[in-house]
Amino acid sequence: MTKSSIMFIVVLGFLLILTFFPIAILLLLSLNETSTLPLRNFPTLKWYIELLRFPAAINAVKYSLMVASVTTGAAVIFGICGGYALARTNFAGKKIFTGLLLMPMVTPYIIMGFSLMSFLLKMGVNPSLIVIIIGHILITIPYTTLVLTSRFIALDISLEEAAMDLGAGKFTTFRKVTLPLIMPGVAVAAILAFIISWEDVALAVFLAGTEQTAPVYIYSLLMKLPKFVPILTAMSSIILSFAIGLAFLMRMIERISA
């Protein structure tokens, strides 16, 4: 092993610790009497029992899953249509469309959050879960469309031509040939959209009403009632269990689609 390899491994190890250490600490503290070290009365389930008295925390996770699921469904459909159009057709104004599509991707969330919510409030629409979904669809469309465009480009067009030569119509070809073939790409796009929605806090704090998604709930409790932080550490392990499940699912799908 060369000197530079050892150096690389040290740096990599440090960066991995930087990434995983915070989460480990969170789990550790959720089983501790206080939300700092050294350990006191460890391990205790006190905060998990306390958590049961905060139904809003559990609901927040539920709302997060709901918002992310609906967002994913919509963004994937937008992405399939847009991706197909970008890769396979020469529709009018393609250049303008790609420019427009990238806008939400390169705009800070705070600009979109403030613009959308101040506009909707003026129109008489109040913040709610539906407004969060509307915002999340906006920020996920560019990602699903880009991922699916590259999948459509990579797909061998002769398969579709063969289906059409054999007498299948445009729609049948799409449904029976194209769609099954890009299913792995659809899955990657779906997971990307899900994560973006699931982890967003900056846009959602503008758009959330009384029903808050999990990140917004954590943020507002942390800012307004810091003494409830131990509850949040207990809540975080619920989120983490979902996260681990999601991570495994994503890895599996990536493997299959690679």
Partner 1 sequence: MSIKKSFRNFFTAQTNSRLKDLLLVLPTYLWIIIVFFIPVFSVLILSFAELSPVTRTVVNFPVLSNYAKLFIRTDYARLLLRTFFIAVTVTASSVLFAYVVAYFIAFRVLKNKYTVLFLFQAPYFATYMLILLAWRLMLGSTGVINSLLLYFGLISEPIKLLGYNLFSVWLVLTATWFPWLILPIFVSLEKIDRVLLEASDDLGASPITTFLKVTFPLSLPGVFVAVLFVFIPTMGEFIAPAVVGGRTGILFGNLIYDFFLKGFRWDVAAAFTVYLLIITFIAVFLLYRRIGFRKLMESL
Q: Which of residues 58-97 bind partner 1 (CB under 8 A)?
A: 78, 81-82, 84-86, 89-93, 97
Contacts to partner 1 from residues 199-238, by CB under 8 A: 199-202, 205-206, 214-215, 218-219, 222-223, 229, 232-233, 236
Closest CA to 151 of 128, 182, 129, 176: 182
Are 223 and 165 in contact, with CB atoms under 8 Å apart?
A: no
Q: What are phi and psi of 108, to 5 degrees?
A: -55, 140
Least distance (Å) between residue 100 CB and partner 1? 6
Stretch that binds partner 1, among 48-56, 160-168, 176-184, 194-202 (CB under 8 A): 194-202
Q: Residue 178: which residues within 8 A CB-CB, separation 6 or more?
A: 84, 152, 155, 160
Are 233 and 26 in contact, with CB atoms under 8 Å apart?
A: yes
Are 242 and 195 in contact, with CB atoms under 8 Å apart?
A: no
Contacts to partner 1 from residues 20-39, by CB under 8 A: 20-23, 25-26, 29, 35-38
| Chosen residue from 11, 45, 56, 179 binding partner 1 by CB under 8 A | 11
Closer of 123 and 166 to partner 1 (Cβ): 123
Question: Distance of CA 4 to CAs 1, 11, 214, Å?
Answer: 8, 11, 43
Least distance (Å) between residue 134 CB and partner 1? 6
Please name the residue that has the structure tokens 């139904």.
Answer: 55
Closer of 155 and 201 to partner 1 (Cβ): 201
Least distance (Å) between residue 29 CB and partner 1? 6
Closer of 163 and 215 to partner 1 (Cβ): 215
Angle between helices 214-224 and 55-88 (to 10 degrees): 130
Are 209 and 22 in contact, with CB atoms under 8 Å apart?
A: no
| Chosen residue from 41, 157, 162, 254 binding partner 1 by CB under 8 A | 254
Q: How far is the C-alpha of 249 from the C-alpha of 253, rounded, in Å?
A: 6
Least distance (Å) between residue 209 CB and partner 1? 14
Closer of 5 and 158 to partner 1 (Cβ): 5
Closer of 43 and 108 to partner 1 (Cβ): 108
| Chosen residue from 3, 5, 156, 227 binding partner 1 by CB under 8 A | 5
Closer of 45 and 222 to partner 1 (Cβ): 222
Q: Which pair of tokens denotes residue 93?
A: 């104004």
Total binding residues for partner 1 by CB under 8 A? 93
Q: Residue 195: which residues within 8 A CB-CB, separation 6 or more?
A: 246
DSSP 175: I
Contacts to partner 1 from residues 103-162, by CB under 8 A: 103-104, 106-112, 114-120, 122, 134-135, 137-138, 141, 143, 145-147, 149-150
